[in-house]
A and B are shown apart, each in its own frame.
Chain A
């Protein structure tokens, strides 16, 4: 008959060994999270350097904090050929609507990245022209103010109107260009196509330069609502996307 203390020690060792054994062959696990599933998006849309500063953002638009309905529409637009960026089309080509909706919701729920004011690199006359178009529009030419739809703070409006701040100027220019030549389309009636057709190249230059030079406000979440009806009918900016 072994000493009770020896027996206890043996038992402890036995169970300890069992515990080690249970831990050892743990198979590699992949977190079941959208953040993990969507790492493919981060290299372009949210790349940060070792200090957490955004890098490589000369073109790629931010996704974080944009309205979910807007993001969902864009994912569908890339997949269905209403927007032209071959790499995006390739990435979302075989993803079902339900997943695209989840992806949109995931990025919409992230806090918007803050964006410091940028040196505009254009004359103050151009900037003033841009500011005017953004906040006042040009009634004589049937141009509503950007703020009339995109919100007084230009941070967008739930559920489907995007914010305009914190985006690279090249990206903004490319979007106006794409609307102008029909490469970017939205659900009919395509209000932005109508507006872009009324903008001169100087207008586009002024608006993009002003928008890209602005800092994002401390709270850059989209506004909950905006006065409706909107100045133009918009197929993609319905109350329910």
Chain B
């Protein structure tokens, strides 16, 4: 009996020691000098640019609200979170925060009062941001007009609202560390990696999150929980893989929202509109260069299951001719950049087919950008075509002109009819 107790005690000590060793302590990097976060026009302009690169405005602005004053609801499988007020209001914003406080939030995921922040704020990515860049961001946010707008408390389900659980999550999935360049890859690659992995937080959507909400390090794609869009892989050649894209086409998509290979729709339209279109060509080139260098993970095997029935394909062909052909062409060749090709378009042949289904149901415009200020739109067909018709036309598109993806079922279409739109 005594032996057992001793063994338990030893085990407990070992566990505590292991946690203490593994615990990613908050990492402090001092500012290079107070001049790094001084309210100079140069710092503020650089911080504004970096805030664009991080798309901070997206989560920290309510619909129709003042930029950075907070209030946008973010639904997650664990509950609803609200982006807080980042303007320098003394009581409701970050008016009392020092540059070090801001660094701790961005780099260590800790609020000024010591509370651990929820990783819906993508600090597992932002931790890669350099102290100099963090200071410029701080200078920019401090330059905004203070907005008095109290933060809404998050509505998280038990037990996800417990700080202890969050501490455990951080132990598993978070380690603060500034981006470490790989000199052998050259300046452009490193700049691209810094932006994609850090401020750009691309893998927050373009990777599969596990059951505890941690996103992977890779960019292998994944279904974005709760909002119902599939963020395609940026590595695998079988999905939206960028390996065989011209670098110029990647840059065009990021900068203008359209390209000869496809258009940005759904949540990516927002990312282009609010963030990427504002980046300079050098940075977009670097990001595209980095993405193209990523090793392709194993492409999903080609579909070898049951073929769609002849009747279904005939229905699909007929619907295609009456609804889609004028813009996307008899051979699915499209009229890019206004109307993207459907032949060989991985957004169309992805499995799950959620993006293609939602495009047919809801239509949509690519974002209006400086490079494409008056985009051509696609009509919504959700009120005109029933589930079986949408399934038929998509099955036809996914199995024609060299496309060889799985058929779409009416049940799949029905599942996405009620997906949130805004």
- Measuring CB to CB, which residues of chain A are less than 8 angstroms from any residue of chain B? 28-30, 34, 36-44, 56, 79-82, 86-87, 89-96, 98-99, 102
B contact residues around A34 at 8 Å (CB):
374
Which residues of B (346-367) have their CB < 8 Å from a CB of A? 362-367
The CA-CA distance from A36 to B366 in the complex, in Å, is: 15
Q: Output the least CB separation between B228 and chain A (Å).
A: 12
Q: How far is the CB of B267 from chain A (nearest CB, A)?
A: 10
A95 near B365: Cβ-Cβ < 8 Å: yes
Most buried by A among B274, B380, B382: B380
Query: B34-42, B99-107, B296-304, B333-341: which one contacts chain A?
Result: B333-341
Complex Cα–Cα for A92 and B270 (A) = 11
Does any Cβ of A come within 8 Å of B64's Cβ?
yes
Chain A interface, >50% SS class:
helix
Chain B residue, CB-CB nearest to A37: B376
Q: Check if B375 is an interface residue, CB within 8 A of chain A.
A: yes
Contact A30 B339 (CB under 8 A): yes
Q: Which residues of B contact A (CB under 8 A)?
A: 62-64, 269-270, 272-274, 327, 329, 333-335, 338-339, 362-368, 373-384, 420-422
Residue ID in chain A nearest B378 by CB atoms: A40
By a CB distance below 8 angstroms, the chain B residues around A44 are 379-380, 383
Residue of A nearest to B358 (CB): A90
The residues of B that contact A79 with a CB separation of less than 8 Å are 64
* 10 A-B pairs in the complex with CB atoms less than 8 angstroms apart: A28-B329, A43-B379, A87-B380, A89-B63, A89-B422, A91-B380, A92-B365, A94-B274, A94-B367, A99-B368
Complex Cα–Cα for A90 and B64 (A): 14
Contact A37 B269, beta carbon cutoff 8 Å: no
Asked whether A91 lies within 8 Å of B64 as measured between CB atoms, the reply is: no
Contact A43 B421 (CB under 8 A): no
Chain A neighbourhood of B380, CB < 8 A? 40, 43-44, 87, 91
CB <8 Å contact, B269 and A99:
no
> Hey, which chain A residues are within 8 Å of B362, CB to CB?
87, 90
Residue in chain B with minimal CB distance to A43: B379
Residues of B within 8 A of A92 (CB): 365
Q: In the complex, what's the smallest C-beta–C-beta distance from B418 to chain A, in angstroms?
A: 11
Residues on A with beta carbons closer than 8 Å to the beta carbon of B382: 87
CA A34 to CA B274, docked complex, whole Å: 24
Could you say which residues of chain B place their CB within 8 Å of the CB of A36? 376
Q: Which residues of B contact A29 (CB under 8 A)?
A: 335
Please give me the residue from chain B that is nearest to A89 by CB atom.
B422
Min distance, Cβ B255 to any Cβ of chain A, angstroms: 14
CB < 8 Å neighbour of A43 from B364, B376, B384? B384
Other A-B pairs beyond A56-B383, A90-B422, A94-B272, 15, CB < 8 Å? A30-B376, A36-B376, A38-B377, A40-B380, A43-B379, A44-B379, A82-B64, A87-B380, A91-B380, A93-B270, A93-B422, A94-B273, A94-B365, A95-B367, A99-B375
